[in-house]
């Protein structure tokens, strides 16, 4: 470790330069990718679904995170022992960063609950909580909660946001150790709950498929069971002549859930590494790298959508090809 003129130990410059370079690269990728996700949902009719309201909110939080990352890099690349800009800017950057991270985690939890509700209740159309107005209200609540989660502990003196001389970045400074441990623990609990909801979804789908196989096995005469008759509801006749009705699960809903689960798995790795590091007491270079891994979550969503989601693939190609065509026409 190096020491400044004030005998304050700081992380060596080559570690900080490495992290700063990666954050700048991630910022460029994330701004383009998340911006593309938001534009795709706006201009593509097939993507204007209730679930995608939360997906856009997640993309917006990630986009804001990427826009903030260059300001973090300024501090990492500084050897002056202070933030290059005003201290208030650094505090605002740290506050905005933690608010966006909290918003991302809360949105992922809301998506998991909504997916569970849609799949297990076989919800179609605008029923129950699955309405645009209620989801928009939920988005507002998520942002209010995220802002409160960041600001309230600062007001109560549990933490302070500003420039950390040790990490040469805008982070928590002079924080209550109990708050840091509770923050790491709360993130772990949230993601355990998210996984639990996806396990419940998997359990429901497996049980549903088993019911269909049982129905097919008891069909004898009458109208035979076929999945082509109706994609969302199926019926058949049992040996006793009693109609058997099973609510179907929309295949597209299952594919959407699979893609979102992949997103959650990747992001959980990013969050859990940093959360475990928060629980471990003391300062270390590992904390800086775990923070970098945490910020990596802001770029994974557009990549996974582009690789796995057919509707987003189509929208991405349409937008990018249109821009390329317009560029060729102008030249």
Alpha helices in 44-86 (DSSP H): 50-76
Q: How far apart are CA 249 and CA 119, in angstroms?
A: 7
Q: Which residues contact 155 (CB under 8 A, 6 or more apart)?
A: none
User: Where do we find the tokens 């006749």?
Assistant: 237
Q: How far apart are CA 53 and CA 37, in angstroms?
A: 11
Q: How far apart are CA 238 and CA 221, in angstroms?
A: 8
Any idea which of 150-159, 179-188, 283-292 has the lowest mean pLDDT?
A: 179-188
- What pLDDT is recorded for position 328? 45
From residue 286, how far is each of 159, 208, 323 by CA, in Å? 21, 45, 42
From residue 101, how far is each of 49, 169, 241, 270, 306 by CA, in Å? 24, 16, 56, 11, 22
Domain residue spans of the chain: 11-191+250-330
CB 312 within 8 A of CB 37: yes
Alpha helices in the chain (DSSP H): 13-43, 50-76, 87-120, 132-155, 177-218, 251-279, 285-308, 310-330
pLDDT-based confidence at residue 310 (cuts at 50, 70, 90): confident
pLDDT-based confidence at residue 293 (cuts at 50, 70, 90): confident
0.85 cut: is pTM over it? Answer: no
More confident residue, 275 or 235: 275
Which element (helix H / strand E) includes 81? none
Mean pLDDT calculated for residue range 163-191: 75
pLDDT-based confidence at residue 235 (cuts at 50, 70, 90): very low
Size of the chain in residues:
331
Mean pLDDT calculated for residue range 180-187: 70
Q: What is the DSSP letter of 5?
A: T
Q: What is the DSSP letter of 47?
A: G
pLDDT, averaged across the chain: 77
Which pair of tokens denotes residue 294? 């945490």
**How far from the centroid of its chain's Cα atoms is residue 192's Cα?**
14
Q: How far apart are CA 188 and CA 194, in angstroms?
A: 10
Task: Kindly indicate whether the domain formed by 11-191+250-330 is annotated with CATH number 3.40.50.620.
Answer: no
Mean pLDDT calculated for residue range 40-53: 88
Mean pLDDT calculated for residue range 272-280: 69
CB 173 within 8 A of CB 162: yes
């Amino acid at each position: 470790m190096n020491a400044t003129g004030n005998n304050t130990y700081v992380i060596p410059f080559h570690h900080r330069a490495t992290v700063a370079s990666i954050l700048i690269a991630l910022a460029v990728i994330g701004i383009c990718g998340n911006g593309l996700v938001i534009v795709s949902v706006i201009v593509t009719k097939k993507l204007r679904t209730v679930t995608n309201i939360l997906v856009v909110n997640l993309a917006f939080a990630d986009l804001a995170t990427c826009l903030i990352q260059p300001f973090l890099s300024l501090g990492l690349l500084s050897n002056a022992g202070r933030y290059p800009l005003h201290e208030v800017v650094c505090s605002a950057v740290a506050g905005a960063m933690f608010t966006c991270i909290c918003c991302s985690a809360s949105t992922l939890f809301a998506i998991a609950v909504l997916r569970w509700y849609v799949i297990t209740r076989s919800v179609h159309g605008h029923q129950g909580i699955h309405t645009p107005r209620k989801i928009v209200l939920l988005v507002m609540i998520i942002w209010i909660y995220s802002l409160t989660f960041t600001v309230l502990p600062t007001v109560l003196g549990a933490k302070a946001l500003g420039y950390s001389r040790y990490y040469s970045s805008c982070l928590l400074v002079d924080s209550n150790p109990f708050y840091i441990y509770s923050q790491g623990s709360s993130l772990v609990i949230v993601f355990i709950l998210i996984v639990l909801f996806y396990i419940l979804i998997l359990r429901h789908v497996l049980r549903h498929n088993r019911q269909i196989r049982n129905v097919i096995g008891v069909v004898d005469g009458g109208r035979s069971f076929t999945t082509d008759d109706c994609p969302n509801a199926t019926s058949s006749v049992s040996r006793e002549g009693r109609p058997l009705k099973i609510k179907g699960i929309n295949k597209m809903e299952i594919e959407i859930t699979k893609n979102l689960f992949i997103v959650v798995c990747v992001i959980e790795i990013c969050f859990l590494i940093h959360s475990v590091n928060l629980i471990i007491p003391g300062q270390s270079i590992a904390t800086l790298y775990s923070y970098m891994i945490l910020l990596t979550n802001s770029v994974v969503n557009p990549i996974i959508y582009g690789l796995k989601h057919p509707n987003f693939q189509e929208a991405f190609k349409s937008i990018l090809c249109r821009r390329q065509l317009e560029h060729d026409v102008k030249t």
